[in-house]
Structure 1
Amino acid sequence: MLIATVAVVMAASIALAVWAGRGRRGGGISEFLVGGRSFPAWLVYFLAVGEVYSIGTMIGFPSGIYAHGASYGIWFLGYILLAYSLGYFLAPLVWRAAKRHDAMTVPDVFGRHYGSRSLELVTSVTMLIALVPWGQYQFIGLQVVLGNLGLRLSPVHCVLLAGIIAFVYISVSGVRSPAFVSVLKDIFMLLGVVLVGVAAVLAAGGTAKISGPEVLTSAQTTMGGQGLVFAMTTIAFQSVVFYLGFGGSYVFPARSERAVKSSTVWMPLYMLIYPFLVLAAYYGVRAHPGLANPNTVFMVTARGLLPEWLLGLVAAGAALSGVLVLAATALSIGGMVCRNLAPNVSPGTQRRWTVIAVAGFLVLAAVLTLVASTLMLTVLNLTYTLLAQVVPGWLAILFARRVRTSAVIAGMVLGVLASIVLYVTDVSFGGVNPGLVALGVNLLAVFGWSRFAPGTPREPVASADAPRPARYSSVAN
């Protein structure tokens, strides 16, 4: 029954993806990557929440609480809520920048705004380095879901199935697949989270039996010292990266600035699922102490509480959320490879090469998952730290007039190097999120250099009458 439920839902998602691409097979690269920039507000909303509330929400969020207590729950909730407030103002400007430069990827925007091929390449490499762990993040979650259902599936089988379905999504209709499949995903994801949360409360005999002081230690429900510093700095850091790092994939397809802004208004409502996830996580602390792999706590809890047919619905929602984001990430990477990295790819063949690049990324992320799996929230932090290195460039494009191209390039390179060094060495800064430190290095290089040696004047995107710059220039200033 469980296998049949998951199989039916996944088959329905593939059918929906095929339906989403009907009549658009002959569309060009714009249709494939950004849906012809035609998505209404409701579809932008589902595409955004489809990518934001990924398998990390169902699997990674409870695992962080299980392993580290309240501090992980606080920063996870806090940064998303703050990001929505910032996104209301920033996301329409991101869309405006893409529209003004006829851009389909973030490197398109950077390269064309500054007229610099070098900056386009550096931005591409930076984002590719950042998004590979994000793909691994989805594979880890999918491996946890499929591997903890009592199915006889090896880790290789899990990532292979997920990779094939994600590839099918993209190959049949590009960005329209994640957008329309996200509607189906949200139905099952919401249903699954609520089912497990309610079942945990009923099994425990009330919320007090799950999260009351008699069952949880103060370390699991309170935070202070370095944990508090980490939570507060992470909220500030990741809320900015939320739209200026990830935003291109779900902002660029919108039909207008108004559609983007309208889509952000209702997004906080989706956060109503988090109380149910917190209850499931704390029930896991009480009912399943000492799990060898904290990533498994949500699925272990679900399996212990629900009958098989309901467990199938939970598993289907989790699997859809992971495959959906995996597909969207693969499409973003494929677009950057064929448009920004590979030289002289003709517009007529970009769609085909994007599909090939998607396949290559899925293989790479799958291999990394099999040989270097880790705690999901650790991988999430690495992704955000690396992706944050495009934030100073975005701030310069949106608001600054005389930032040097060479300063943006130098800041991005220094930021990536600092991110990797801090991740590998695990240096502590009194609890301050290392990503914020790396971002500070980047910001200092970009705006400090430009303060003392201003570049060529350029109208920022936030200026309503900003002219279109030349596409490329051989001089980076």
Structure 2
Amino acid sequence: MKLLVFGVIMMTSLALAYYARIKRRHDTLSEFFVAERSFASLLFFFLAVGEIYSIGTLVGFPGGIYAGGATYAVWFMGYILLAYPIGYFINPLIWRAGKQYQSETGPDLLQSHFNSKGLGILAAISGLVFIIPWGQLQFAGLEVVLHAFKVSLSPMMTLSLAGLLALIYIVLSGMRAVAMVAVLKDIFMILGIIIIGSAAWFAAHGAGAIFTQLIVSRKAAVVVPAHAVPFVLSTIVFQAMGFYASPFGLQYVFTARSSRAVAKAQVFMPLYMLMYVFLIIAAFFAVLHIPGLAKAPDLAIIMASAHLLPGWLQGVVVAGAALSAIVVLTGLSLTVSAIVSKNVLRQLIKPGASEQQIKRWAQVVVGVYLGISLLLTVLAPHLMLNLINTAYYGFTQFFPAILAVLFWPRATAIGVGTGLIVGDIIALSLYFAHVLPWGLNLGLIALLGNFIVTVGVSLLTRAQQAKKEVVA
């Protein structure tokens, strides 16, 4: 029965992707990459939160609590909550900048604003270095879920079908398909979380009973140790600034119909945090009642589901988890294809490429990207572990460049590009040297260096560049 429920939900997602193809306006590059900036606040809302709440929410968050206790929960929830008000003020301005320059990717925006082909290529390469492993992360999470679900197919076959599904979404209707399937994904993800959290609540006779047992038997799980506070707080601040600076986050903002649609969607995004109540209850239930997952904590929510729910409801939970991975994977693939085809291949190989040529390149890049991510997940699952861990370090280094576009007319392409390079170098150097200055998140130190270099070099080179008209 659970396989039947899972299969029906997956087929429904394909039907939605085909429906999105019918609803598309034109067969243009803008339609393919950003849906011709046509999404009203509701559809943009589902697309944006679809990227935020991935399989890391449904699987990684409970797994982190199982392994790290309350410290992980405070960090994970804290940076998202702080990011929302930042996004409320910043994202409508980013949309206005994208509209002004007709940008479809983050590198498009920087290249057009600073009139610098070199900065556009630098931003593209820097973004790709940190975004490419994110696809492997989605495949890895999906592998965990389907393995625990006891799917009879081999890991290669199962993940290949997931990758094929993502490819079909994109070929059918590009970004419009991602948004439509994101609606279905959110319905089943939230439904699955509420079901498993409620089941844990009733099985343990209330949340109070769960936390009473934890305080008595595993007090460390519900306490944030004093020595971890500086790192947790600095990480919350750092990642909140990078939350909307990722290449895929910028591209999603460009899909909205207006800056007002973006602002309206941002107002309601914090409501999704209510589902963390159910996730926390389910995670701590697993800590108490499902021992033996110390080496595989990401199985916590799936094992709790198997322990508490009948088969068909397990199918709902796993379908929500699978769609969470596949939708994010599809959006990532579209972002990678847009950056590679528009900001790398066209700029370096064929500047006069037509829209149809770029679209064909993009579809090929999607297939290549999915194939590489799949092979790395199956054959070398730990090869990109370090880059996955450092992804946020790289994403957040774009934050000074975005602020320069929006607020600082004296910023120069040389200053922004140099700051981006210095920030990436500092972050990677500190990470591989295993250094945590003053117990703070090393990414925050790198970001500070990025800001200082961006401002300093821009002031030294501002005579070479005319004053820019900023968006804000």
Shared fold per TM-score greater than 0.5? yes
Matches within 5 A, 1:339-378: 339-343=342-346, 344=350, 345-373=353-381
CA apart distance, 1:433: 1.4
Q: Does 1:269 align with 2:271?
A: yes
Alpha-carbon spacing, 1:414–1:376, altered in 2? closer, same or farther (3 Å): closer
CA apart distance, 1:282: 0.8
Matches within 5 A, 1:24-43: 24=24, 27-43=27-43
Instruction: State the partner residue of 2:405.
Output: 397
Instruction: State the partner residue of 2:9.
Output: 9
CA contact (8 A) 1:399 1:462 kept: yes
Instruction: State the partner residue of 1:316.
Output: 319
Alpha-carbon spacing, 1:349–1:453, altered in 2? closer, same or farther (3 Å): closer
Residues 174-202 of structure 1 show CA distances to partners (whole Å, capped at 9, x for unaligned) of 00111111111111111100111111122
Residues in 2 aligned to 1:255 and 1:376: alpha-carbon distance in whole angstroms = 37
Instruction: State the partner residue of 1:73.
Output: 73
CA apart distance, 1:350: 1.4
Matches within 5 A, 1:33-432: 33-212=33-212, 213-245=214-246, 246-291=248-293, 292-343=295-346, 344=350, 345-373=353-381, 381-432=389-440
CA contact (8 A) 2:416 2:458 kept: no
Alpha-carbon spacing, 1:461–1:218, altered in 2? closer, same or farther (3 Å): farther
Q: Does 1:443 align with 2:446?
A: no
- What's the RMSD between the two structures over aligned residues? 2.0
Identical columns (%)? 42
Amino acid corresponding to residue 319 of structure 1 in structure 2: A
Residues in 1 aligned to 2:382 and 2:204: alpha-carbon distance in whole angstroms = 30
Residues in 2 aligned to 1:425 and 1:177: alpha-carbon distance in whole angstroms = 42
Residues in 2 aligned to 1:89 and 1:401: alpha-carbon distance in whole angstroms = 19
Residues in 1 aligned to 2:74 and 2:232: alpha-carbon distance in whole angstroms = 7
Residues 234-290 of structure 1 show CA distances to partners (whole Å, capped at 9, x for unaligned) of 111111111122431321011111111111011111111001101111111112223
CA apart distance, 1:362: 0.9
Residues 421-456 of structure 1 show CA distances to partners (whole Å, capped at 9, x for unaligned) of 333333222431122122222222111222344352
3-state SS, counterpart of residue 397 of structure 2: helix
CA apart distance, 1:377: 11
Alpha-carbon spacing, 1:301–1:23, altered in 2? closer, same or farther (3 Å): closer
Of 39-48 and 290-299, the range deviating more from structure 2: 290-299
Residues in 2 aligned to 1:226 and 1:250: alpha-carbon distance in whole angstroms = 37
Amino acid corresponding to residue 459 of structure 1 in structure 2: K
Residues in 1 aligned to 2:146 and 2:469: alpha-carbon distance in whole angstroms = 47
Residues in 2 aligned to 1:457 and 1:426: alpha-carbon distance in whole angstroms = 42
**Unaligned segments of structure 1, at least 5 residues:** 464-477
Residues in 2 aligned to 1:171 and 1:426: alpha-carbon distance in whole angstroms = 42
Residues in 1 aligned to 2:341 and 2:460: alpha-carbon distance in whole angstroms = 37
TM normalised by structure 1 equals 0.93
Alpha-carbon spacing, 1:315–1:5, altered in 2? closer, same or farther (3 Å): same
Residues in 1 aligned to 2:442 and 2:147: alpha-carbon distance in whole angstroms = 32
Instruction: State the partner residue of 1:468.
Output: none
Residues in 2 aligned to 1:364 and 1:460: alpha-carbon distance in whole angstroms = 41
CA contact (8 A) 1:60 1:376 kept: no
Of 413-422 and 48-57, the range deviating more from structure 2: 413-422
Residues in 1 aligned to 2:273 and 2:384: alpha-carbon distance in whole angstroms = 20
Residues in 2 aligned to 1:150 and 1:281: alpha-carbon distance in whole angstroms = 21
Residues in 1 aligned to 2:23 and 2:220: alpha-carbon distance in whole angstroms = 56
Alpha-carbon spacing, 1:379–1:209, altered in 2? closer, same or farther (3 Å): farther
CA contact (8 A) 1:96 1:461 kept: no
3-state SS, counterpart of residue 395 of structure 1: helix
CA apart distance, 1:217: 2.4
CA contact (8 A) 2:142 2:322 kept: yes
Residues in 1 aligned to 2:374 and 2:172: alpha-carbon distance in whole angstroms = 21
Q: Give the alignment partner of residue 467 of structure 2, picking from 458, 462, 470.
A: 458
CA contact (8 A) 1:25 1:173 kept: no
CA contact (8 A) 2:137 2:388 kept: yes
Alpha-carbon spacing, 1:430–1:224, altered in 2? closer, same or farther (3 Å): farther
Of 356-365 and 311-320, the range deviating more from structure 2: 356-365
TM normalised by structure 2 equals 0.94
Residues in 2 aligned to 1:226 and 1:214: alpha-carbon distance in whole angstroms = 20
CA apart distance, 1:378: 8.0
Amino acid corresponding to residue 326 of structure 1 in structure 2: L
Of 88-97 and 448-457, the range deviating more from structure 2: 448-457
Residues in 2 aligned to 1:31 and 1:14: alpha-carbon distance in whole angstroms = 19
Of 58-67 and 416-425, the range deviating more from structure 2: 416-425
CA contact (8 A) 1:215 1:286 kept: no
Residues in 2 aligned to 1:204 and 1:379: alpha-carbon distance in whole angstroms = 39
Residues in 1 aligned to 2:425 and 2:372: alpha-carbon distance in whole angstroms = 22
Residues 330-361 of structure 1 show CA distances to partners (whole Å, capped at 9, x for unaligned) of 00110011100003232221111111111111
CA contact (8 A) 2:6 2:316 kept: yes
CA contact (8 A) 1:142 1:158 kept: no
Residues in 2 aligned to 1:429 and 1:221: alpha-carbon distance in whole angstroms = 27
Structure in which a larger fraction of residues adopt helix: 2
3-state SS, counterpart of residue 57 of structure 1: helix
**Unaligned segments of structure 2, at least 5 residues:** none
Residues in 1 aligned to 2:127 and 2:71: alpha-carbon distance in whole angstroms = 28
Residues in 2 aligned to 1:289 and 1:108: alpha-carbon distance in whole angstroms = 50
